[in-house]
Structure 1
């Protein structure tokens, strides 16, 4: 694995759009500290009428925009190399400054919520751009603490983030994998190599040996990782109790603007109704690969590994332009910029965050991190992250910083939508049974398996963890591993052997430090599946509806956003239709496999 200094510049992102030099970054930190002092001196104790509400929010909006850029620069620089001590210290410094500013400005929320609602209503009439912010503030009123308590909690901001930082340090800095050996040949191993290559390896002996070696090293760090997670959970539980929420679930779902009905439906329906379809898929993999038994280590393999093509970064650009062109000229212009202006970090290097993500700081363009393996399925990964980028690219053009970000429940709909659009494009442009089987199997293995199985089973496991915490309990490595194993065994039944090490997958997912996040992948893909069907059948009218949804940002609730796109997520129907659609894809895989074998 290369060091960051050894990778090609053209495969890295360009952070100069945030700050061209370190000196400008330092000046920005100094400026926000000064501006925070000005806001406190000018407005603290002086928010009494509608105009004063507008004045303080206007000042805070400008400050918030600068804070976002500073935070993005710090976190993105660290994400590509967690071993970089300069980046570590920069991130720590920003966290400390943020905590200071948050404590200093906590009075804004407290003083606004002490005002009569008529004053807040007058402020909304005076400055409609703050409608959403004020409405969200009013929602929080029942859970607001005394101003001094809020100030104290804000001051602990960076401390409360410590478990997530410790998790990443353990995972990406301290945890080092030894090479593993198969038939006298040595193979390198790292987090990114395992998740990007060895987990997908077609050679059964290499794949299973890599899984054992990977799991063996994870086990060495299980107790530290479990204690880190337990601390994070206790922080969330304490916050929920202090603020008077009925449960930790209600506290975490509050920001998502959905209730436990939508949350539980997503988990319960999928774990029961999708399981039979996915067990069929596992059996198909076992049959095609001639495996004596199907194990957990075999679930990510390709249905036709000898066919899966490789793809260059430049070739991926062509696929993005063609596959997503249905979204219109403005959208494709954004895609062009993403490649031309180096919005995307493709390189694999030591210390880089695993997986892929998109960060969209307000005021500049989005940034995408990906660990490029040259496998064709990266087309779907890149399309997914560009879905996030396109979402915020449009939302930021239409909305202010307070209005641009939707609920977490909806956040994965635009990303998974792009995966569906890419799949539709690929299928429409080929009649080759083998290629069509590859595309459909990739939709199952990448799009639906990743979002409807991997993340959903994480959500089912996570719900069990939070139930323990909500009852006043604690968790350790043994409890977490047992919970994870139970979830996996219940879903896969006797179709897949849950081999030793599978229970440790709870150690691999950073989403557990982001509240109730994992279930939102399937929620987003449910919406995306329905809307992509509309686009296939209705064309540009459905595309325009979807574009309007993206532009709406966070100005509407998830239920309202889905309704704009023609989907009613308050009922079981969209989810059941999506599960049935997955079943139909597996039907097609079985038919195409038989056709190919009989040819």
Structure 2
């Protein structure tokens, strides 16, 4: 495997980055829109505070609320997505932080809406759905929230505290992507550059056992230097969730976290049981087979992600992926295929590898389809990248279609459904690859 080196974000070709100008052409436009949103929020509060007493007014209020949420979504993505590409850039992190602080004030101002809605008699809420059936899921949640809603003053205080309550995630990201310096590691007298992204996207899969294990050791050594601060951030998050669960009357933090997903602990526990009881023996058998095939002296944590057949790892460029994706999703119809393939010319995806970039991959959708979805990943010219990409395209497609057919306040599915379209897209890719080859090595790889 070739040696990898990360570029600075400023050195990355623009065609490998996502297009944020779809949101706002300039920073000045963003600032103007931010000011307008704050004014709209103040007007909304002045108009509807104490006025949610009949179905017609509530419908009008929800529509105005949706308009504000759509504005917030566009602003949020413009303010926060740059930081995901480079947390070492102080301007990016400052813009994201400033937006989060403004949103704490906005959320506090808007907190009356949920508080007052949960006090509305159920027959009036039912009348809202009769007027506008698209609000059915929103009203269902509102009726359920009657049992967990705190006093308006407390809800407003919690909204104002939101940057603090979500601080553990920010601390973790800053630590791993901005503060940790992994430097280099040496194998047989040769130095290799290392970073969080390079380890997760490259060295974790390296075919040379000595390099792979040395990278893991160097990576783990740096992580250990931050173990206390990361552990404290994690503990703070768990403690926050437990406190909120208790305040809202939940028996456990599990019930609290599962509440919005509309599932109970039985489903959650069944998933854990399947992983620990049914999947575990299969994985142990696989790891034993991997050890034998690779001729390893032992299997360490550093060896778990290597390919069973490392000499057969098809190289795939971003250009190559277009045909592979189109072939895989074509079974879903021309309309769906055309929708997904817009991602390439419209630059939905940030493919670049650079310092400070978030690890892994994600897809985020802009409310009401006011802009295309945004996907982050790091492309390394491996077939596994196509799986990541088509997975995220599954989220993108679901987001677009959900927004097309649902109200803004009702277009977010339960997390227990959210991975369905993306995982199904991966299966479509496997099916496409195996149907087009007689090579058993390719079939095994897929």
Separation in structure 1 between the aligned mates of residue 164 and residue 181 of structure 2, nearest angstrom = 26
2:415 to 408, 414, 432: 408
**Residue 323 of structure 1 aligns with which residue?**
328
- What does residue range 6-21 of structure 1 map to in structure 2 within 5 Å? 6-21=11-26
2:28 to 23, 30, 39: 23
Separation in structure 2 between the aligned mates of residue 437 and residue 41 of structure 1, nearest angstrom = 63
Give deviations 1:280-321, integer Å, cap 9, x for gaps: 111111111111212221111111111112111100111111
Residue 351 of structure 1 deviates from its aligned partner by: 0.7
The question of 1:37 aligning with 2:45 is answered no
Residue 335 of structure 1 deviates from its aligned partner by: 2.2
- What does residue range 59-78 of structure 1 map to in structure 2 within 5 Å? 59-78=64-83
Gaps of 5+ in 1: 440-599
Separation in structure 1 between the aligned mates of residue 341 and residue 391 of structure 2, nearest angstrom = 16
Separation in structure 1 between the aligned mates of residue 277 and residue 124 of structure 2, nearest angstrom = 50
**Secondary structure at 2:98 match in 1:** helix
Residue 159 of structure 1 deviates from its aligned partner by: 1.6
- What does residue range 70-149 of structure 1 map to in structure 2 within 5 Å? 70-149=75-154
* Structure-2-length-normalised TM-score: 0.97
- What does residue range 519-598 of structure 1 map to in structure 2 within 5 Å? none
Separation in structure 2 between the aligned mates of residue 77 and residue 60 of structure 1, nearest angstrom = 27
Give deviations 1:318-352, integer Å, cap 9, x for gaps: 11111111111111112221001111000001111
1:277 to 275, 282, 297: 282
**Secondary structure at 2:410 match in 1:** coil
**Number of residue pairs aligned between Structure 1 and Structure 2:** 439
In the alignment, is the contact (CA less than 8 A) between 2:119 and 2:146 conserved in 1?
no
Give deviations 1:468-489, integer Å, cap 9, x for gaps: xxxxxxxxxxxxxxxxxxxxxx
The question of 1:361 aligning with 2:366 is answered yes
**Over 2 Å off, 4+ runs:** none
**Residue 268 of structure 2 aligns with which residue?**
263
* Structure-1-length-normalised TM-score: 0.72
The question of 1:421 aligning with 2:428 is answered yes
Residue 75 of structure 1 deviates from its aligned partner by: 1.5
Higher relative contact order (CA 8 A, sep 6+): 2
**Secondary structure at 2:186 match in 1:** strand
**Residue 348 of structure 1 aligns with which residue?**
353
**Secondary structure at 1:187 match in 2:** strand
- What does residue range 174-253 of structure 1 map to in structure 2 within 5 Å? 174-253=179-258
Residue 119 of structure 1 deviates from its aligned partner by: 1.2
Separation in structure 1 between the aligned mates of residue 318 and residue 132 of structure 2, nearest angstrom = 46
Give deviations 1:16-61, integer Å, cap 9, x for gaps: 1111111111011101110011011111111111111112111111
Separation in structure 2 between the aligned mates of residue 233 and residue 184 of structure 1, nearest angstrom = 44
Pairwise CA RMSD of aligned residues?
1.0
**Secondary structure at 2:375 match in 1:** strand
Residue 142 of structure 1 deviates from its aligned partner by: 0.4
Separation in structure 1 between the aligned mates of residue 420 and residue 133 of structure 2, nearest angstrom = 27
In the alignment, is the contact (CA less than 8 A) between 2:88 and 2:356 conserved in 1?
yes
1:384 to 362, 386, 391: 391
Separation in structure 2 between the aligned mates of residue 384 and residue 140 of structure 1, nearest angstrom = 33
Residue 158 of structure 1 deviates from its aligned partner by: 1.5
In the alignment, is the contact (CA less than 8 A) between 2:205 and 2:212 conserved in 1?
yes
Residue 194 of structure 1 deviates from its aligned partner by: 0.5
Separation in structure 2 between the aligned mates of residue 336 and residue 247 of structure 1, nearest angstrom = 44
Separation in structure 1 between the aligned mates of residue 388 and residue 183 of structure 2, nearest angstrom = 28
Residue 400 of structure 1 deviates from its aligned partner by: 2.0
**Secondary structure at 1:164 match in 2:** helix
Residue 103 of structure 1 deviates from its aligned partner by: 0.7
